[in-house]
Amino acid sequence: MKADFLKELNEAQLEAVINSEGPALVISGAGAGKTRVLTYRIAYLLQKGIKPYRILALTFTNKAAGEMKNRIAGIAGFDTAKYLWMGTFHSIFARILRNESDKLGYKSSFTIYDATDSKSLIRSIIKEMGLGDDVYKPGVIASRISAAKNNLITAAMYESRPELTEYDRAVRMPRLAEIYKIYTTRCFKANAMDFDDLLLNTNILLSSFPEVLEKYRKKFDYILVDEYQDTNYAQYLIVKKLSEVHRNICVVGDDAQSIYSFRGARIENILEFRNDYPDAKIFKLEQNYRSTQTIVNAANVIIANNRGQIQKTVFSENEAGEKIRILQAMTDTEEGFMVASDIFDRKYSYRLNWNDFAILYRTNAQSRIFEETLRKKNIPYRIYGGLSFYERKEIKDVLAYFRMVINPQDEEAFRRTINYPRRGIGDTTVKKLTEIASMLGDTSWNVISRIEDFSTHFNSSTIKKLRDYAEMLTGFAVATEDMDAYQAAKEITTASGIVRELHEGDTPEEISRLENFEELMNSIKEFTEAAKTNGEPYSLGAYLQNVALLTDQDTEDRKGGDRVTLMTMHMAKGLEFSHVYITGMEDSIFPSPMSSDNPKELEEERRLFYVGLTRAKKMATLTYALNRYMYGNLEYSKPSRFLREIDPSYIEFPQLASRFGNNRYNDGHDNRLSEDNNNYQPALKSKKYGRIIPATKDETVENNFTPSSVLTEGDIVAHDRFGRGTIMEITGEPPDTTAIVDFEESGRKKLLLRFARLKKIEQ
């Protein structure tokens, strides 16, 4: 045991680590070292003599769990750290469910369905029921079922809840309860659980079997939870049940970073922790080690607008740093070029790397313009939130084979493997098998296992092909029983013909599929070697569970090398970058228009902005466009209300400074955007009321633009950014009149005249 590890903590962190008995709530500001506190608290318990297998530590990503375990191993030694019960909620609960599976009627080899598997099964059910997937959309139904499970509402309970069924009727999906019921039955018969079942079934297990609850209460003397603000109702209840006796529970989190309510996260879990544990000790980690003072102070001002929060004052002792820059673009396309150009200039001016930069946005749809502009400037980038490696068809097909070897009842894996590689078993045969299985209340595998009993349904050639398929998989199960994951994977993919088929292609797409397969085999090899080194299970089944429980951050398809990062702000949580660009800062995008009339949702949007801003270590740039194409139309956009919440002393407008000169602009003016002025016109402070009011026409720095009503085609005009140009065409009626202007330097632009600020040049 490393003796002096506690010296690495500041005073607040040390207090949170050494007060290890009883309930504790550690509130950590962004970049304040919460992971270090959680890690060192566990190391401190081990130093006190607590056995590692009596400590339960729950995280939200495998990455976080792995990093923490490695740190603890560095302090307490590998042989101690490997016995900790540390992992994601889903991986730990899957482990418990495998140990106790028989009590719920499952085999311990149950499959874990990912989102794609769940949607595929739901799609099949919808088709079998003769319902249109234009109304009964698989994704919507999957989300609805997921929400029910996270609130511990089973299929039977859903059916009996009138408020749920009435809602379904109102949205024209009256048979959703029936779909949920069939989906649950199909999963059970396939010996499969989806992600949400891991939480639902653990709650059922602990509620219905008191002896099991007592067993795990006695097993874990100490429970620690990371990112507690992200827990949902099901996770909250499990943790509460397990900690009710010993009450040695420590939760770490930041209510200001609670941004996942759409996944079922309940900020109330952290805000009301003291209601569950009135004697809980509260520790606040308020020193930010990541960002400059300016970024931290601005973030504090923003989040102070939220009423529902635990008060804390985050501070930084880093350098003051640059002011937060606000950039205005005329259009969303210009915004893309502006950001790409700024990144290019800063990269070479300050000798930075591309991976020092991140472009964040509210919705995935915003990425297109940035991808296009980065490509035009030959700036390499990687985008998070796209198709992950494990969702690619060729990868899921191979994994389906592994799943069938471990659990042949897996209906979704059966559908993927029955005719891959092609063996002459068509859709008609598969449909017949499914119908027979459904009629018997059985699985397709069990039908194939006694295919001779159904000889009247299939010809002799088809029966032989089905028998060969079944014998092949049964042979794999026997042959690979004592093999490690890599040996088993190699045997299955070779003997099944997968390797041969992948090597036959020569098109770019086929070569890419082969490369992905080879990367998969590399990952299995790495898993096997790491598991053997760490003394963990290294079977094919263990590998499958590891893959099935990977989270968003674990599965991101990250291209290597030096690249600019593009992602949504939700994806950015937990990450950090030297230079961050938060784009689309408009009221029509951020905050989301759907949150405008809901104070609770608006506060979550503000927390999301807080998260985005605090990803920046050295510089933050906020951008918005005055006009943006929405649904095929050029729409006027108003700057986000969040921009107006930033204290003016922390922001600057580079465009104004360059246009008017720093001294003239900064003398007596407040650098805050006014609500009604949508260009860079500074608002003046009212001496009478002491608040920000819109600048009047007479107070603006410059107002010598030609009224749009007097402009005509053929006029020579000047634009403050695009320069000199000629109006080629004017269309539309006020206030939506647009003009196509051919600029001498910038080419043709389509501008909304009421915001274009054009000045007519007299000839």
Amino acid at position 307, single letter: R
Contacts 24+ apart (CB under 8 A), 713-716: 715/760, 716/760, 716/761, 716/763
Alpha helices, H only, 151-232:
155-159, 162-170, 176-189, 195-208, 210-219
**Residue 615 annotated among the catalytic residues of the structure:** yes
Cis amide linkage into residue 591, ω under 30° from 0: yes
CB 253 within 8 A of CB 226: yes
**What is the model's pLDDT at position 124?**
93
Q: At residue 573, what are phi and psi to the nearest 5 degrees?
A: -55, 130
Spot the catalytic one: 226, 255, 342, 394: 226
CB atoms within 10 A of CB 89: 23
Query: Which position among 13, 34, 362, 484 bears the catalytic label?
Result: 34
Question: Residue 284: what are its φ and ψ, rounded to 5°?
Answer: -120, 125
CA distance 701 to 53: 68
pLDDT tens-digit readout, 191-212: 999 999 999 999 999 999 999 9
The active-site residue out of 235, 257, 328, 373 is 257
**pLDDT at residue 696, as a whole number:** 33
In the chain, % helix, strand, coil (3-state, to 5) comes to 50, 15, 30
Give the span between the Cα atoms of 734 and 738, in whole angstroms: 9
Res 199: pLDDT: 96
For the segment 245-294, what is each residue's pLDDT rounded down to a tens digit?
999 999 999 999 999 998 899 999 999 999 999 999 999 999 999 999 99
Respond yes or no: is residue 720 known to be catalytic.
Answer: no
222 token code pair: 């100490």
The reported pLDDT for the residue numbered 673 is: 54
Q: Which one is catalytic: 114, 117, 227, 332?
A: 227
**First and final C-alpha spacing in the chain:** 84
One of 36, 69, 362, 615 is an active-site residue; which one? Answer: 615
32: Cα separation from own chain's centroid: 22
Contact 740, 749 (CB under 8 A): yes
700 is catalytic: no
| Distance, CA of 621 to CA of 623 (rounded, Å) | 7
Across the beta sheet with 738-743, the strand order is 747-752, 738-743, 723-731, 716-719, 759-760
Catalytic residue among 35, 39, 545, 623: 35
User: Mean pLDDT for each consecutive 10-residue tract of the chain (763 residues)?
Assistant: 83 96 96 94 95 96 90 91 94 96 95 93 94 90 94 94 92 95 96 96 97 97 97 96 96 96 93 95 97 97 94 95 95 94 95 97 90 93 78 92 96 94 92 91 93 90 94 95 94 95 84 88 90 89 89 57 93 95 94 87 96 98 90 80 94 66 35 46 32 31 61 85 85 77 81 79 74
**34 has catalytic annotation:** yes
